[in-house]
Structures are given as C-alpha cells and as structure tokens.
Amino acid sequence: MNVEKFNYDNQIVKLFLIATIVWGIVGLLVGVIIATQLYIPELNLGLSFTTFGRLRPLHTNAAIFAFVGNAIYTGVYYSLQRITKARMFSDVLSKINFWGWQLIIVLAAVTLVTGITTSKEYAELEWPIDILIALVWVVFGVNMIGTLVKRREKHIYVAAWFYISTFVTVAVLHIGNSIELPVTFLKSYSVYAGVQDALVQWWYGHNAVAFFLTTPFLGLMYYFLPKAANRPIFSYKLSILHFWTLIFIYIWAGPHHLLYSAVPNWAQSLGTVFSIMLWMPSWGGMLNGLLTLRGAWDRVRDNPVLKFFVIGVTAYGMSTFEGPMLSLKNVNALAHFTDWILAHVHVGTLGWNGFMTFGMLYWLVPKLWKTDLYSKKLANVHFWIGTLGMVVWVIPMWWSGITQSLMWKEFTPLGLLKYPNFLETVLQIVPMYIMRSIGGLLYLTGILIASYNLFKTMGKGSFTAEEAAEAAPRGPVTEKLQYGMIHRYLESKAILFTVLALVAILIGGLVEIIPTYLVKSNIPTIASVKPYTPLELEGRDIYISNACNSCHSQLVRPFRSEVERYGEYSKAGEFVYDHPFLWGSKRTGPDLHRIGKKYSNMWHYLHMENPRSMSPGSLMPPYPWLLENKLDDSNLKAKISAMRTLGVPYEEGYEEVAHAEMAQQAETIVNDLLDNGIVVEPDKEIVALIAYLQRLGTDIKAEVAENK
C-alpha cells in the first residue's frame, strides 16, 4: 500500500496558543479596569488614553480579536491538519497569518487609546489597518482551503465546514462594513450615512458574533469535544442540519439591534423573525454537544477539560435562548441600551468562548508537550473560580439592566417622570457595578491560574515542533454521481463547497442590505436638516475620537418615557449627513440626540472640565484636556471635500471659506463664554465640541417652529 510520510506543524499551533493566553490576560485585565472605572472614574489617572471611552473598544477588540481570535487559529491549525491528514498548505502563509495578526492587535491597541477610531463597534480600526486585516484574513483562508485541497483524508469532517463558513462570511462582513472614504492616512468617513450606516454596521456587528464567536467555536466543539470524550459526536446528521440552517438564518438577524430605532419597520420585523428562528439551530448545536456526553457524565466529574466544555456549551445554549428573547420588541424595549445586553454578551464570551478555549488549552498543552497536566487541582480551582466569576458578573448586570430600565420608564400618578434626573438611575445601580467588577476580577484570577498551570505543564514536558505522521494519499474520486450522491461529491470539493457557502450567506446579506440602499432615496427629506458647519464637523470628530458614543446614545426611541425625558423621538431623515452614524448601543449616560440648546455653552464647558461640578455624583470622567488641546483643523478642507464626495451638499469651493466660517462660529461661542466669566481661546477643542453638542438634534426644532 502506498503510504506518504509527512509532519504536522505544531510550531504554529504553539505560537497561537501562547498568544491566546497572553492576549487573554491583557483583554480581561482591561475589562476589569474599565468595569472599575464605571464607579471610580478617577482610575483613568487623568489621561485621555486611559479614559473609559478609549479603553472600552480596546477591551472589546482585545477580547474578541486578540484572545478569541488567537484561540480560533490555535484550534483550527491543530485540528484541520489532523482531520485532513495533511500539513498546513504553506508554512509561509501560516507565519504571515500569525505575525500579521499580532501586528494588527498591536496597531489596534496603539490607535484605539490615542483616539484613532471609526467609532463603529467592533470595527473601530482605521482604514489602513482594515486593509491589513483583510489581507491577513485572506492568507488564513487560502492556507485553510489549500490544506483542504491537498488533504489525504477523503471526506471533509463537519468541523471544517464551520471553519470555511467562518472565513468566507467574516471576509464579506469585514469588507462590506469597512467601506470608508479616507481623508488622511489615519482618518476616514464611512461611505454610508445614518440609517444605512446603522443597518450595515449591525449586519456586520451581529454576524461578527455569529461568524467569529459562534461558527468557529462550533467547529472547535465538533473536534475537541469528541476528542476529549473519546467518542463520536452524538449525531452527525444533526450537525449538518444545524450547520446549514445556522449559516442561512444568522445572516438575516442583524436588524434586531435596531428595534424601535429610525430604521424602517419591515427591516426590524425581518430581524426579529429570523432571530427567533435562530433559536432552533443554535440549540441543535448545543444539544449535539451535550448529548455527546450521554452515559459518560461520570468522566466529566474528574476531567477538567470536559467540565469546561460542559459549562461552555451550556452557556452557548443560555445565550442563544436569551438572544431570540431579547429580539422580541417588547423585551427589547426594556433591555436595549441597558446592562442586560452586556450580561447577555458576557454569558456568550466568558462562558462559551472563554470556557471552550480553556477546555481546549487544557487538552492541547499536555498533548503537544507530551506530558500530563501540571496540576489537575489548579485546573479545577480555575473552573470553579471562573464559573463563580461569571455568575457574579452576569446576575448583577441582569438586575441592574432591568432596574435602570424600569426607573427610566416610571411615571408618577400625575404623569411626570418619577426619576427625571438620569443620574438618579445610575447611582441606584452602582452596587451592581461593584459586584460586576468583582466577578471580572475572579474570572481574571482564573485565567492567571490557568496560565501558571499551563506554562508549568510546558516546562515539564518536551515539545515536538514537527510531529511525524503517515497516511495514504487520497486517490481520485472514483465514485460516479450515481445514486443521489451530489452532496457527497460537493463535499469532496473544498473550493466548490466554499463557493456554495458564500452564496448562501450572500443571499441573506444582499436581501437584507439592498433595500437599505433603496431606502436612501426614500428617506423623507426634512428640509430643515442641514449639513454640519465646519466647526461642528470638527467637534463631531472630537466626539468620535474620545468615543463619547461608548456611553451615550444619539437615538430617542418613540416611547412616551423617552420623549418626555429627552424630547422628540429621532427621525430617519435627521441622520442623512451622519457619516458615520453615532447612535451608540449603551446608555451609561443619557441620550444626547436632543442635547442641543438644552444647556448653556457655559454648562458644557464646566461639565467637560469636571462633570461633578454640574451633576454632583456624576460618574462621567472629567475631560480637562479638551480645554487645553488646540484643535487640529489642518484637514478641514479635505474633510469637507470628502463629505461632499459622499453626498453631503456642501457647495463647490466651500473649503475656501470654511476656515473663516469656523473662526466666526468659534468667536460667537467664545464671546458667550466670556460673558459668563470664562476665558477660552477660540482654537481649543472644547469650542468645537460645544458647537457640535449645541447643534445636535436641533434642526428638527426649526422645522417645528416654522410649521407653527
């Protein structure tokens, strides 16, 4: 018999594995810091770089793309070689994949803390890094598909399907959502505006959860769970069924992030319906994982790897039940913009992604280093402290989310808001914030224990970079298409399979996205809505750079309680010049869409200098640097011209007078401040920011006045 000898590349697995542990610690540490900053804002040490708005995207990016991302690569690079009985397609591509990804992470960390951001959640990185991400991701895909093409194993195991759909979909999502017009090397504007931008962003945002945090981990589950339990998956048929239904349905569910927003109703309903349908395939996956252990639960008791997997898969089941529930409009009305959403997300990330990763690491390290785990006891300690951390994290956030939302909505018998001061509802939930940070700290302690245990294991074992293996080559496909073997034929063709998976997700994507293009021309024009002035445009960029949208929404929903609290609800036509949209997803502070003209310029100045001077007890960090920093308006002309290219109706040649107009508007604000005893130079950032805040949501007031 013809036998080929080859080596598995374990070196690349080792690199990704170590990166997973290191970035896991970093990402979780930043998480604990920002959780603590929410009740001790002084922990930003008075620096712009370490302020909540900047660190929050750093935390999410580090957790998702650095920790979970490297965990995905670790698992894929290990398992794909084994299920295909082949070395990775190209060692060079593997190395580019690894070092390219680490470079992206470092660039992300540097740019996010310095305020270089697009503001779009989980897609904050600026365009040069976006291009780099696309290139490295394609390298990963080519390497993976190349391996499948040259595989020795005749069949493609289901895990690889999940990997391929991950690659294809994330590529489409990333490119689709990152289409932006560069203004300078580190500044760009989204080509989409307002409602359209929101739909594209959440088509991306939701599917990033689906295809970065879910499908690759289902693939890993289908490989590592049977491996660790030493028995095949409960039902292979179920795995196929839920694979196709999952990727087909997931792609439609994005608009559930925009319920009660200015997005058209039909898109909202589409999102809700598909979200509810998603429940079934998700639970198909969960049950398939858990039932694999039927009759082997005794092994779970003394095997830390299986323990982690059981909690991981259970957390997946919990969050995929909670998700459809949250996409019901009446539940969403209560939960959106509150801590409940964070609780939901963290059941998924801490439970599903975190615990699946830890289980995989505890299985892989002894295997790769050919030894036993250094301490099973420590792994059990990690398991319990991690589980406890999760519980202490999630339950207070459910509690605080519901408490705060009910307070926002409560009226007195006389028909007035019971808690008209937003701050009151924040101070009520501070104890929950404290609990949450303790939960995070416990979880962080868990990963520190894990890293000690794993590095000790590595120390006592011996690592083989090149692991010898042999397998028979894959002969030509001899079977003809005789009796309904079409899928079997397709499944043996990796590239064709990739194309079909692409078609499946594109159909969903296109049907969801195309109408939003059509919507553009159908958004009722509100005559009084005008483009931002040059000073307001610069102020808006300061708002973006300081990531104010991390804590403040700009979207008043059509509820009596919100109209009462903030003013007229937000209309689609008000956002037509918003490149990018800044609706936000969380109200740690109040909504700002109707903030314009609500307070005086002086109020904003003093509030930015020290929020507590205006709102005693406020948990917003001070922004004294805005009062000191000189506004960098050197790119103003380029910004105006870029906006015009995107369809904002600035007249030709407006660039030439923009600086003069800006100075004039700044002068008005400075004079007003001077009248109130505040001396500030007109070229400071604060002046531009005040101009922007005072403009927010006011155009429509002019319309109302005109109609009267």
- Binding range to another protein, per CB under 8 A, among 101-109, 170-178, 405-413, 466-474: 466-474
Decide: 404 and 428 in contact? Cβ < 8 Å: yes
- Binding range to another protein, per CB under 8 A, among 89-97, 327-335, 513-521, 592-600: 513-521
Nearer to another protein, 162 or 650 (CB): 162
Does residue 264 interact with another protein by CB under 8 A?
Answer: yes
Among 1, 414, 416, 679, binds another protein (CB under 8 A): 1
Does residue 270 interact with another protein by CB under 8 A?
Answer: yes
Nearer to another protein, 286 or 640 (CB): 286
Q: Annotate each residue in 111-150 with x if it binds another protein (CB under 8 A) or - if it does not, as one string.
A: ----------------------------------------
CA distance 144 to 455: 28
Q: What is the DSSP string of 331-393?
A: HHHHHTBSHHHHHHHHIIIIIIIIHHHHHHHHHHHHHHTTS--S-HHHHHHHHHHHHHHHHHH
Tokens of 644: 């015009």
Among 95, 418, 474, 493, binds another protein (CB under 8 A): 474
CA distance 458 to 462: 7
CA distance 392 to 305: 23
Decide: 422 and 590 in contact? Cβ < 8 Å: yes
Does residue 299 interact with another protein by CB under 8 A?
Answer: no
- For 537, the enclosing helix (H) or strand (E) is helix 534-545
Nearest to 429 by CA among 437, 417, 440, 420: 437
CA distance 461 to 364: 12
Q: How far is the CB of 263 from another protein (least distance, A)?
A: 8
Decide: 432 and 400 in contact? Cβ < 8 Å: yes
Under rule CB under 8 A, how many of the chain's residues touch another protein?
59
Q: How far is the CB of 237 from another protein (least distance, A)?
A: 4
- Binding range to another protein, per CB under 8 A, among 393-401, 515-523, 529-537, 672-680: 515-523
Nearer to another protein, 370 or 659 (CB): 370
CA distance 192 to 194: 7
Whether residue 534 is preceded by a cis peptide bond, meaning omega within 30 degrees of 0, is no
Nearer to another protein, 40 or 514 (CB): 514
Place of tokens 């990330």: 349
Does residue 278 interact with another protein by CB under 8 A?
Answer: no
Q: How far is the CB of 2 from another protein (least distance, A)?
A: 8
Decide: 74 and 20 in contact? Cβ < 8 Å: yes
Does residue 507 interact with another protein by CB under 8 A?
Answer: yes
Nearer to another protein, 231 or 418 (CB): 231
CA distance 249 to 278: 6
Nearer to another protein, 155 or 530 (CB): 155
Decide: 198 and 261 in contact? Cβ < 8 Å: yes
Place of tokens 């170590």: 18
Among 32, 86, 112, 158, binds another protein (CB under 8 A): 158
- Helix/strand/coil for 697: coil
Does residue 154 interact with another protein by CB under 8 A?
Answer: yes
Helix segments in 230-292, DSSP class H: 236-250, 265-291
Binding to another protein (CB under 8 A): which residues in 225-254?
226-227, 230-233, 236-237, 240-241, 244-245, 248-249, 252
Does residue 524 interact with another protein by CB under 8 A?
Answer: yes
- Which residues contact another protein by CB under 8 A? 1, 3, 8, 79, 82-83, 85, 153-155, 157-159, 222-223, 226-227, 230-233, 236-237, 240-241, 244-245, 248-249, 252, 262-266, 270, 467-475, 484, 487-488, 504, 507, 511, 515, 518-519, 522-524, 571-572
